[in-house]
């Protein structure tokens, strides 16, 4: 069986989005800067990103994609991303945690589930020997860490200060015991990967 892994990008001051995130501005005001590393440089909501990750950023992305068997995301992320245009952006099963599973679209490759526990169970079954990736948003990742599901966690730090938005560990009062695994660094981000000790297997 593969691992349950997770990762998210944060600013230097701890925000995973800028203020007022939502449809048409998924990462909030100024939040595009968090994901410069994904597209190899600056981009904006005004036009579709055209670049791609290079160097250490590509190495990190490739390491995730190589063994990805299923993805879990939260409903707010799904809405903020405008349903990814109605099509699953990954080439693997994608489970959306929501209080309204009856809203699941008839096509597009998304499966709505009513709890994180149900999502983990279904994603593990779908992934087989590959990894399950809990992609966020922040609340979904906090739930997964709190429940002990996440075995490996990558915190990507972008060299920006947003000054407001959503914090990854807002209200999180658990005691996480982490072991450093590796670090990859580029001009756009530092990717720090940890093993989460005591996680459920």
Tell me the C-alpha distance between 48 and 133, whole Å.
Answer: 25
Query: What pLDDT is recorded for position 201?
Result: 55
Looking at the predicted structure, is the pLDDT value of residue 135 above 60?
yes
The confidence band for 55, taking pLDDT boundaries of 50, 70 and 90, is very high
Mean pLDDT on 136-161: 95
Residue with more model confidence, 193 or 24 = 193
Average pLDDT, the chain: 92
Q: Which of 180, 192, 168, 195 is nearest to 56 (CA)?
A: 192
CA distances from 64 to 15, 113, 145 (A): 22, 23, 18
What tokens does 59 get? 């190495």
Could you tell me how many residues make up the chain?
A: 201
Per-residue model confidence (pLDDT) at position 150: 97
Structure tokens at 31: 């939040």
**Element holding 18 (H helix, E strand):** none
For the chain, strand residue ranges (E) read 4-10, 15-17, 68-74, 94-97, 110-113, 131-136, 152-157, 166-167, 178-185, 190-196
Q: Kindly give the interhelix angle for 138-146 and 116-127, rounded to the nearest 10 degrees.
A: 80
Q: How far, rounded to the nearest angstrom, does the alpha carbon of residue 173 sit from its chain's CA centroid?
A: 20
The pLDDT value given to residue 156: 98
Residue % of the chain over a pLDDT of 70: 99
Q: What superfamily does domain 4-196 belong to in CATH?
A: Dihydrofolate Reductase, subunit A (3.40.430.10)
pLDDT in tens, 70-97: 999 999 899 888 888 889 999 899 999 9
> Which residues, in sequence order, are CB contacts of 1 under 8 Å at separation 6+?
124, 128, 129, 201
Give CA–CA dist 32/44, Å, rounded. 6
**Distance of alpha carbon 106 from alpha carbon 97, whole angstroms:** 16
Cis ω on the peptide bond leading into residue 142 (within 30° of 0)?
no
- Note the pLDDT tens digit of each residue in 9-21: 999 999 999 998 8
Residue 60 has pLDDT above 60, yes or no: yes
Dig out the tokens for 8 from the structure.
Answer: 């998210």
When pLDDT is averaged across residues 177-198 and rounded to a whole number, the result is 96
- Between 200 and 66, the more confident residue is 66
State the alpha helices, DSSP H only, in the chain.
Answer: 36-39, 55-65, 75-80, 116-127, 138-146
Count of other CB atoms within 10 angstroms of residue 105: 12
pLDDT 10s digits, 107-124: 889 999 999 999 999 999
């Amino acid at each position: 069986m593969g691992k349950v892994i997770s990762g998210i990008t944060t600013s230097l001051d701890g925000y995973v989005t800028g203020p007022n995130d939502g449809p048409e501005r998924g990462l909030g005001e100024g939040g595009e800067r968090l994901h410069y590393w994904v597209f190899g440089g600056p981009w904006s909501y005004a036009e579709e990103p055209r670049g791609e990750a290079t160097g250490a950023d590509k190495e990190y992305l490739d390491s995730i994609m190589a063994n990805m068997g299923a993805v879990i995301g939260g409903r707010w992320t799904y809405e903020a991303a405008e349903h990814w245009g109605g099509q699953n952006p990954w080439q693997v099963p994608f489970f959306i945690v929501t209080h309204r599973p009856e809203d699941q679209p008839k096509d597009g490759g998304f499966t709505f589930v009513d709890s994180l526990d149900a999502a983990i169970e279904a994603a593990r079954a779908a992934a087989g020997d590959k990894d399950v990736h809990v992609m966020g948003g922040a609340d979904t990742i906090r739930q997964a860490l709190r429940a002990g599901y996440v075995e490996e966690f990558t915190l990507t730090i972008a060299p920006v200060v947003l000054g407001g938005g959503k914090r990854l560990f807002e209200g999180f009062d658990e005691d996480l015991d982490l072991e450093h695994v590796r670090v990859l660094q580029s001009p756009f981000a530092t990717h720090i990967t940890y093993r989460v000790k005591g996680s459920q297997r």
